[in-house]
Structure 1
Amino acid sequence: MTVTGNTAADQAQRNTEIVLTAMRELFKEKDVTALDRHWAEPYVQHSPQMPSGLDTLRAAVPGLEGFSWEPKRIAAQGDLVFTHSIVHGWAPNPVVIVDIFRLDNGRIVEHWDVIQDLVSADATVDGNPMV
């Protein structure tokens, strides 16, 4: 029998697993029913190009061509999960995105993002990679 703990670390781990599963199912598998399992209304969207509510995601996901989400770093604190990823197919060129997801009762209910064009390390001023 597995006992699930209630510590902050346990909550962070559960929330991280929910976000990774939700993003894989929705964006990699293009299973829009993932929205019913892993998101909840009211879904508050802070991205300046997208309105709040799940209908926007329901409409956008099936039309995404060549989309891939490659999380490189993940952190969680309390009800927040942060991902630092390389994304193809969201914009004309690859982008680096920091997504912040807020969960409530095991469902994603709020989202923020910061998006930058991906630049190779040799093209940056300091030679450091973006991810």
Structure 2
Amino acid sequence: MNDTTDAGSLEKRNTEIVLRAMRELFAEKDPTAVDRYWAEPYIQHNPTMPDGLEGLRTVAPRLEGFSWTPARIAAQGDLVMTHSRVLGWAPEPAIIVDIFRLENGRIVEHWDVVQSEVPSAESVNGHPMV
């Protein structure tokens, strides 16, 4: 295999891991997903969340009416990015870009950008946010 094929395989595998991890932890509310898909030391860049896996274990079960619907997914090397519509994270629907870094098939770092959703009918340009 050449480097391009190897990179493509890694990116595909990492994307599948992120999608499975997010579905199992947040949609299926399975707290054991943290043990399968995340690893310490887990570095969290969201300013409202602590580093470490305990924060995920604490927050995920408390989210009422949570849904995560990724509209776009991109991967490059050890990074996977999702652009999603999320309900239940904030009082209003949110558009979130999550960036996950994986090491050895486990999520070890996370960044996100969270924006309140503005319906396209209320947007200056008329375009949807996702």
| TM-score, normalised with respect to structure 2 | 0.95
Please give the alpha-carbon distance, in whole angstroms, between the structure 2 residues aligned to 1:66 and 1:95.
13
Please give the alpha-carbon distance, in whole angstroms, between the structure 2 residues aligned to 1:93 and 1:60.
18
In 2 relative to 1, CA 72–125 (structure 1 residues): closer, same or farther, beyond 3 Å? same
Q: Which residue of 1 aligns with 2:98?
A: 99
Which deviations, in whole Å up to 9, do the C-alpha atoms of 1:29-62 show, x marking residues without a partner?
1001000000000000001111111101101111
Q: Which residue of 2 aligns with 1:18?
A: 17
Gaps of 5+ in 1: none
Note if 1:109 corresponds to 2:108.
yes
Please give the alpha-carbon distance, in whole angstroms, between the structure 2 residues aligned to 1:12 and 1:55.
27
Q: What root-mean-square deviation, in Å, do the aligned CA atoms of Structure 1 and Structure 2 show?
A: 1.1
Identity %: 67
Structure 1 runs of 4+ aligned residues shifted over 6 Å read none
Q: Which residue of 1 aligns with 2:8?
A: 9
Q: Which residue of 2 aligns with 1:122?
A: 121
Note if 1:51 corresponds to 2:50.
yes
Which deviations, in whole Å up to 9, do the C-alpha atoms of 1:61-80 show, x marking residues without a partner?
11111000000000000000
| Aligned residue type for 1:16 | T
| Aligned residue type for 1:84 | H
| Aligned residue type for 1:59 | T
SS class of match (1:47): coil
| Aligned residue type for 1:94 | P
The 10-residue stretch of structure 1 (57-66 or 81-90) with the greater mean CA deviation from structure 2: 57-66
Alignment size in residue pairs? 127
Equivalent residue runs for 1:9-88 within 5 Å: 9-88=8-87
- Post-superposition shift, 1:87? 0.3
Gaps of 5+ in 2: none
- Post-superposition shift, 1:7? 1.2
Which deviations, in whole Å up to 9, do the C-alpha atoms of 1:67-125 show, x marking residues without a partner?
00000000000000000000000100100000000000000000000000011111111
